[in-house]
Amino acid sequence: METSFDRIIDEFLQYTIGRTTAIQRYNTKQIIKPQNVMEHEGSVTFIAMVLSDWLNERGIKNDTEKVLRLAITHDKDEVVSGDINFVAKYSHGELSKDLRQSLDKLGDYVIQQLYSRIENKKLSDRYYDLYREEKDRKSVESNIVKLADWIDVIIYARHEQALGNRGMEDAERNARERFVETFNQITKK
């Protein structure tokens, strides 16, 4: 017996989960223990929950449910684009800026195509709006997700270094610098 949710399972969830578990992060670096996009999203979501609660306790009000929704959807555009490395996105001045703008346009297109598989405009629009909010980073919740994203990179880089991979020292340093910058913006330090 088929339910109305079977189509979402077949057309959206199976595709999305299959792709995010297949796409490896840090695909331009030598890695000892690979991490896929789904593992990353899970880590970011857990970190974001803890960080959201921690910040709420310190008077930096935010909506933890919204943080969780933003976190679990934050890299869904990588279902098509894959993981583009940090150096390409940030280290080449105008060329990197052009790349980020192009990736943003591609991400918009990809996300709209991905969420159209749900065949429910209300849900599709809701998830697309979450994607845009996280990418635009104009809310405290979206910045918490970005902090969690940087923390995951720091933790992952430290694990790789503990296994002997010195190639992840730059990744940790870059993530730490960006974490501190975003953390100071949120906490107004």
**Higher per-residue confidence, 90 vs 48:** 48
User: Domain with 175 in it: what CATH number?
Assistant: 1.10.3210.10
Find the domain containing 123 and state its range. Answer: 6-187
Q: What is the pLDDT of residues 107-151, one digit of tens each?
A: 888 888 888 888 888 999 999 999 999 989 999 999 999 999 999
Count of domains forming the chain: 1
Are 126 and 93 spatial neighbours (Cβ–Cβ below 8 Å)?
Answer: no
Is the residue at 71 inside a domain? yes
Is the per-residue pLDDT at 2 higher than 90?
no
Tell me, what's the pLDDT at 189? 61
| Position 98 in a domain | yes
Query: Is the CA virtual torsion 48, 49, 55, 59 positive or negative?
Result: positive
Using CB atoms within 10 Å of the CB of residue 5, give its burial: 0 to 12 exposed, 13 to 18 middle, 19+ buried.
exposed
Position 162 in a domain: yes
Q: Is residue 153, in this structure, part of any structural domain at all? A: yes
- Is residue 33's pLDDT more than 70? yes
151-155 long-range contacts (CB < 8 A, ≥24 apart) are 151/47, 151/51, 151/175, 151/179, 152/40, 152/43, 152/44, 152/47, 154/179, 155/43
Ranges 47-51, 84-88, 99-103, 136-140, most confident = 47-51
Least confident segment among 35-39, 79-83, 149-153, 155-159 = 79-83
Sequence-separated (6 or more) residues with CB below 8 Å from residue 18: none
Instruction: Decide if 131 is inside a domain.
Output: yes
Domain-embedded: residue 116: yes
The pLDDT of 33-62, averaged and rounded, is 96
Residue 36 three-state SS: strand
Predicted local confidence at residue 20, as pLDDT:
87
Q: Please state whether 68 falls in left (phi above 0), alpha (psi between -120 and 50) or beta.
A: alpha
Q: Is the pLDDT of residue 62 over 80?
A: yes
Answer whether residue 39 shows pLDDT above 70: yes
Position 85 confidence tier, pLDDT thresholds 50, 70, 90:
low
- Statement: the pTM of the whole predicted model exceeds 0.95: no
Instruction: Please check whether residue 1 lies inside any domain of the structure.
Output: no
